Amino acid sequence: MTLEEKKEQVKNFRPIDDTFFEVLADDIGVCQEMLRIILEDEKLIVKDVIVQSSERNLYGRSVRLDALCILGNRKKCNVEVQRSNKDHHLKRVRFNASVITVRDSQTDDKFEETIDLIVVYISEFDIFKRGRVIYHVDSVIRETQEKVDDGLERVFVNTAVKDGTTISEYMDCFLQKEVDNAKFPKLTNRVHYLKHEEGGVNAMCEVMEQYSKKAYKQGEEAGQRQANIAAIKNMIIRFQATKKVILEDYTESEYNTAIAELQSESR
């Protein structure tokens, strides 16, 4: 594939798109500029970034790591982008924060040593439907409305609301196929590099290929599972095979699914 053909592949990506954001955020400067704007802290320092496809990702695939930033003050900040509005976003944040916290804890750690974590959740829609570009969700004492510091900060920011602020202007860039804004030089330069320079375009294509192979493998596995379930159902219907016999060749999960499908079909 020529460089021009590769450029054609990546030209329609926007920063809000999962795959593009992952490669975009694999850059300390981009993440530092982004977090300084969203968290409104001009002195914030990002020392390292780990993304989902990184070989240094020790958190597994159960937690979404669009960009896990290690900050200069030793806090960690997990940044996730979300375009789909078909999930329970608050529970998703809670789950991912829990996995990161547990993974970074040792069995003999005291609770006071539990990591401080910031979660920045970037969405293409206004999660809370209150017309704000950014929401800070805190733990509070219900009776007094006092904020409780439990080491977890949750910040929800979206691209849907336009309120004239710097954060809103920055988030609007996430909807653009090309970014050219002097206020945000790191984002502007990184988008240009990934879309127009050979090294960046190749990096994008490499990650796209990784995800394509992963999706194909998952499809094969799903197809094989369905074939196994069909075979189990056939063994039960035609041969009255017992569970013990079936589990010699198939998993208990597949067996249970086959039984549930047979029961549903008999109603």
What pLDDT digit, counting tens, does each position of 65-118 carry? 789 999 999 899 999 999 888 888 999 999 999 989 888 776 677 887 788 999
Residue 243's closest CA among 227, 222, 251, 224? 251
Residue 179's closest CA among 159, 158, 194? 194
Other C-beta atoms lying within 10 Å of the C-beta of residue 120 = 24
Q: How, if at all, do strands 46-50 and 67-71 pair?
A: antiparallel
The whole-number pLDDT of residue 128 equals 96
Query: Which of the residues in the chain have pLDDT under 50?
Result: none
CB 75 within 8 A of CB 117: yes
Torsion of CA 187, 130, 164, 45, to 10 degrees: -40
The whole-number pLDDT of residue 81 equals 94
Strands annotated E in 9-151: 46-50, 67-71, 76-82, 117-123, 134-137, 139-140, 147-148
The whole-number pLDDT of residue 221 equals 75
